[in-house]
Amino acid sequence: MKKDKSRTMTTNLGRPVDNDQASITTEGQNAMTLLSDSHTIEKLAHFDRERIPERVVHAKGAGAFGTFEVTNDVTAYTCADFLSQVGKKTELLARFSTVGGEKGSADTERDPRGFAVKFYTDEGNFDMVGNNTPVFFIRDGIKFPDFIHTQKRNPQTNLKDPDAFWDFLSLTPESIHQVTILFSDRGTPDGFRHMNGYGSHTYMWYNKKGEHFWIKWHFKTAQGIKNLTGPQADVMKAKDPDYATRDLFTSIDKGEFPSWNVSVQIMKPEDAPNYTVDTFDITKVWSHKDYPLIPVGKMTLNRNPYNYFTDIEQAAFSPGNFVPGIDASPDKMLQVRLFSYPDTQRHRLGTNFDQLPVNAPKCPFGHYQRDGAMNFKQEAGPNYYPNSFDGPTPDKKWATPPIDVSGMAARHEYEVGDIDFVQAGDLYAKVMTDQDRTHLINNILGHIKGAQKRIQLRQTALFYKSNKDYGTRIAEGLNLDIKEVEKLANMSQEERVKATAQ
Ligand code: NDP
């Protein structure tokens, strides 16, 4: 904490305070505190209301301000103003977090890490709300509340529950790719500075001509990937539960500014229907060989929050905060997030959360939203549109290019197929080193050993389907019959679920 020059203490409304150590009471042994002591009452009443709801997910986090600088010309693909010129700089806020743990939980828990960036552009705020993994566990947002419940605490014991964790994942085979990344050492990054960020979803970019493209964001750490092993992460939970928070703050404080090289993969829309994987399925990556990374710019974090609560706790990100040149894709998981993020911010922070300095745009803005709790900034002018009193007006030039989304409306389920196991298998067999594989196996065993045997069998069959060696090593570690695992792996998911019901 830095020393400030001495100042007079006041009440919230500025009245100088004479004494902050004794409340106003009657005299003597039976002294009673008087209601007329409005300073004491204000102090206690505000204290009673200090807590706001913590985020349902991503509650524990840290963040910092910084700058994004364009390094490469991408104007052929997007008309986003903040990407319009090499050398152009945009102020930003980044927040990193774990996902499942409460606000006081340890930074080195095995979990994906949130990687959210708010760009304060001249055409409104653009939020890139991703993770440190390029994929996710599920691909339809309707499953999200259930998935998160399994990562939280058992409703009766209030303990983390390996049965719930592996029961859900083994009943949700599309999770296998993300599970493989999560249980690799990338699931316990060495602080926030040494991990990559990914938009994970497919997004739309469009250019000045109205041509659109499907893109994926990649933020590659310039500090290099550095992870903790499972045992190192466990030790750190006790030694310094705020390890990543401390590391980020201290390095920026010392003038060691972390940076990330930002690039995108770009797909022409006509290629999407024929690509090997569903372009909009967030459980899949686009191979770098098919879609090489195209450099865009560099993000540098160079300013710590002035106050954690106002700058980071109250920061509200939404994947739906787009600017002209960037928009959503028909990714089912993204579509649900577009609703859920601002919805939870309204609950957590209030209807006018976007007026808080950290969330407010830094460019001029004008709209007809009015009133609501804690409103401190709205126009005096007309509160309806259309009007003939010079209120703000829309302009068709800002329209996103149309895309065809016709078809029969129904609850269309993704079918689980062999394709859902390919990328997890590739990661295991072609990308990981021997040491990576050994750590992965040990990390999984350390967690799944607490689950019931029938659940272990069902999940191990999914590892086996991804790669025989992968499944075999897990089966051996759990003392499971490999013949039984193989039999389950060769069944359809429906049959497998029936066979492991009891
Ligand atoms: P590449 O060989 O071109 O890419 C492999 C990528 O895997 C690397 O560039 C690195 O991405 C990432 N990686 C390296 N080690 C690990 C690890 N232990 N855990 C997780 N990721 C790791 O092949 P492809 O692009 O064809 O992808 C092959 C597999 O790599 C995929 O099935 C996927 O599992 C994984 N992968 C692919 C990514 C992509 O966008 N194509 C991104 C990340 C992983 P990075 O530098 O981004 O960390």
Query: Which pLDDT does position 1 carry in this prediction?
Result: 74
Residues 6+ apart with CB under 8 A from 207: 75, 76, 77, 78, 79, 213, 325
Query: What percent helix, strand, coil does the chain show, rounded to 5?
Result: 35, 15, 50
Burial class (CB in 10 A: 0-12, 13-18, 19+), 355: middle
CA of 181 to the centre of ligand 1 (A): 10
φ and ψ at residue 500, rounded to 5 degrees:
-115, 20
Whole-model pTM: value is 0.96
Rounded distance between C-alpha atoms, residue 314 and residue 356, angstroms:
8
| Residue range 164-185, pLDDT digits in tens | 999 999 999 999 999 999 999 9
Catalytic site includes residue 307: no
Rounded distance between C-alpha atoms, residue 466 and residue 427, angstroms:
10
Q: Is 449 in the pocket of ligand 1 (CB under 6 A)?
A: no
- From 137, 174, 285, 466, the mutation candidate for ligand 1 (largest count of ligand atoms within 8 A of CB) is 285
Catalytic site includes residue 58: yes
Q: Is 431 in the pocket of ligand 1 (CB under 6 A)?
A: yes
CATH fold group of domain 61-137+187-355: Catalase HpII,  Chain A, domain 1 (2.40.180)
Confidence of residue 3 (pLDDT cuts 50, 70, 90): confident
What residues does each domain of the chain span? 61-137+187-355, 152-171+421-502
Quote the strand ranges of 163-258, DSSP E: 197-198, 203-206, 212-221
Q: Is 199 in the pocket of ligand 1 (CB under 6 A)?
A: no
- From 226, 427, 467, the mutation candidate for ligand 1 (largest count of ligand atoms within 8 A of CB) is 427
pLDDT, averaged across the chain: 97
Strands 259-267 and 212-221: antiparallel
Confidence of residue 6 (pLDDT cuts 50, 70, 90): confident
The residue length of the chain stands at 502
Nearest of 179, 251, 200 to residue 425 by alpha carbon: 179
DSSP 8-state assignment for residue 220: E
Q: Is 426 in the pocket of ligand 1 (CB under 6 A)?
A: yes
| Residue range 255-288, pLDDT digits in tens | 999 999 999 999 999 999 999 999 999 999 999 9
DSSP 8-state assignment for residue 383: S
DSSP 8-state assignment for residue 330: S
Confidence of residue 247 (pLDDT cuts 50, 70, 90): very high
Q: Hey, what CATH class is 152-171+421-502 in? A: mainly alpha
Query: Do 24 and 32 form a contact (C-beta atoms < 8 A)?
Result: no
Rounded distance between C-alpha atoms, residue 302 and residue 159, angstroms:
39
DSSP 8-state assignment for residue 401: P
| Residue range 381-391, pLDDT digits in tens | 999 999 999 99
DSSP line for 91-131: EEEEEEE-SSS-TTS-TTSSS--EEEEEEEEBTEEEEEEEE
CB atoms within 10 A of CB 369: 12
